[in-house]
A and B are shown apart, each in its own frame.
Chain A
């Protein structure tokens, strides 16, 4: 790991912590595409997690909220997440392992290649609603 990477990681963790502390979200997480050949997207930085299960998840493009954000490069949000079960198109693994009832996610776009190389997701556990407003608020943090 280079010093630059290290800096980046610290910043991401700080950003996640900051969003978690200054908002009412029960969970905030950031998934990044790895640099190696596998190009897997995994959750590396989280705040408010209730278990370590999130580490096992590998995001699949097009599946679940975060997957749709990766595929389309556009923000996405969804309420009443607990009614989706495994193998449904809207089943979001991170929502299941963190017991989220609603979540909103925005893409992290590489400024040079304009490719999606990560997802920032925040959600609630107790039926609070998310909306386009939530995704706009999350996007604000990435613009800073």
Chain B
């Protein structure tokens, strides 16, 4: 038993979080790192108690309807974000965790957890969410394609087959035959248009054969027809020397940005600008829509990773990506890639 006690003591001393135990607001025990912090940062334990105390009071004041909230009351600990050494060049971010050990004897502990580690864990979690999102998006895409194939293409071909069967049955007057062939032709033409549209949605062959600018023009025309919103593409860029990766990313960013503008911003006009400079190529997508508060959309919001995903894709190819937007003032998305001139 003595041995275990020794282990616990060693664990307590070597823990990476600074732990302090108080009785009646007097510091009783502190582990090694807590002592180091106190001497190095000139930290007064009384200050930490003040901070914790204020937060505890805040929690148990019925300022909102959540006072009897069962979730909140089952939280045994109170975490308070705190910045130490804020007057030094490198402020240290910590979480101060308040935990009551013995309520009758007024014994409680304060633990300082390094936020850097926690942030790193957050990052990892976010990465995992991103992966999950990408997988889900792939699956959604497939579902969408499959539905389109089944609903419109298969349907169109089936109707045409039925028409041909009627023709084959014979015993039809000349004008009936003319009508039926007309109908079949119409069905097949519509189906052809659907197939072409689908092919364009999946991967624009124009991009491979004619370059980025014509591909953007085709995209703009299709989205304009689908939405009624004017989409103008202007540019001088010769994209022959660009790698296919960069071209694809620029195309996808234009696509995603226009889609966003149509979906969320209620824009009436969208401008796409593709301009080549001596050492870089610049894509700008501007809309006159409702705009949004950028910082609040930069993090993963549980539904869509649009902005984050675009950023990641551009950065992976050494590009720069930025979004400027204000509520009520439209949105501008910019992607910039370095170009090596041969």
- Contact surface of A with B, Cβ cutoff 8 Å: 37-39, 51, 53-54, 56-58, 60-63, 71, 85-87, 93-94, 96-97, 112-115
Contact = CB atoms under 8 A, between A and B. Distances in A.
Counting chain A CB atoms within 10 Å of each CB, the highest count among B190, B224, B227, B264 belongs to: B227
Interface in B248-306: 259, 262-264, 266, 268
A85 B227 CA distance: 11
B183 interface: yes
A60 B229 contact: no
Q: Which 8 A-B pairs have the closest CB atoms?
A: A58-B225, A97-B228, A86-B262, A86-B263, A57-B228, A53-B228, A85-B263, A93-B228
Contacts of B186: 39, 113, 115
B285 to A, nearest CB: 15
A129 to B, nearest CB: 23
A120 to B, nearest CB: 18
A39 B228 contact: no
Say what secondary structure dominates the interface of chain B.
helix
Interface of B: 151-152, 179, 182-183, 186, 189-190, 193-194, 197, 224-230, 259, 262-264, 266, 268
Nearest to B148: A62
Counting chain A CB atoms within 10 Å of each CB, the highest count among B183, B194, B225 belongs to: B225
Counting chain B CB atoms within 10 Å of each CB, the highest count among A71, A86, A94 belongs to: A86
Contacts of A96: 227-228, 266
B263 A39 contact: no
A63 B179 CA distance: 27
A56 B193 contact: no
30 contacts: A39-B189, A53-B230, A54-B228, A56-B224, A56-B227, A56-B228, A56-B230, A57-B226, A57-B228, A61-B152, A61-B190, A62-B152, A85-B264, A86-B262, A86-B263, A87-B259, A93-B226, A93-B228, A94-B228, A96-B227, A97-B229, A112-B179, A113-B179, A113-B182, A113-B183, A113-B186, A114-B183, A115-B182, A115-B183, A115-B186
Contact of B225 (A51, A56, A97): A56
Contact of A39 (B183, B193, B225, B226): B193
Given A39-B189, A61-B152, A62-B152, 10 more contacts: A37-B189, A56-B224, A56-B225, A56-B228, A93-B226, A93-B228, A97-B228, A113-B182, A115-B182, A115-B183
Say what secondary structure dominates the interface of chain A.
loop
A7 B151 CA distance: 37
A78 to B, nearest CB: 18
A112 B183 CA distance: 10
A94 to B, nearest CB: 7
Nearest to B197: A60
B23 to A, nearest CB: 59
A63 B201 CA distance: 15
A42 to B, nearest CB: 9
A110 B151 CA distance: 24
Nearest to B186: A115
A51 B182 CA distance: 36
A108 to B, nearest CB: 14
Contacts of B194: 61
A51 B263 contact: no
Nearest to B182: A113
Contacts of A57: 225-228
A69 B136 CA distance: 32
Contacts of A86: 226-227, 259, 262-263
Nearest to A70: B190
A135 B97 CA distance: 64
A88 to B, nearest CB: 9
B245 to A, nearest CB: 26
Contacts of A87: 259, 263
Contacts of B189: 37, 39
Nearest to A33: B186
Given A39-B189, A86-B259, A62 B229 contact: no
Contacts of A94: 228
Nearest to A93: B228
B323 to A, nearest CB: 19
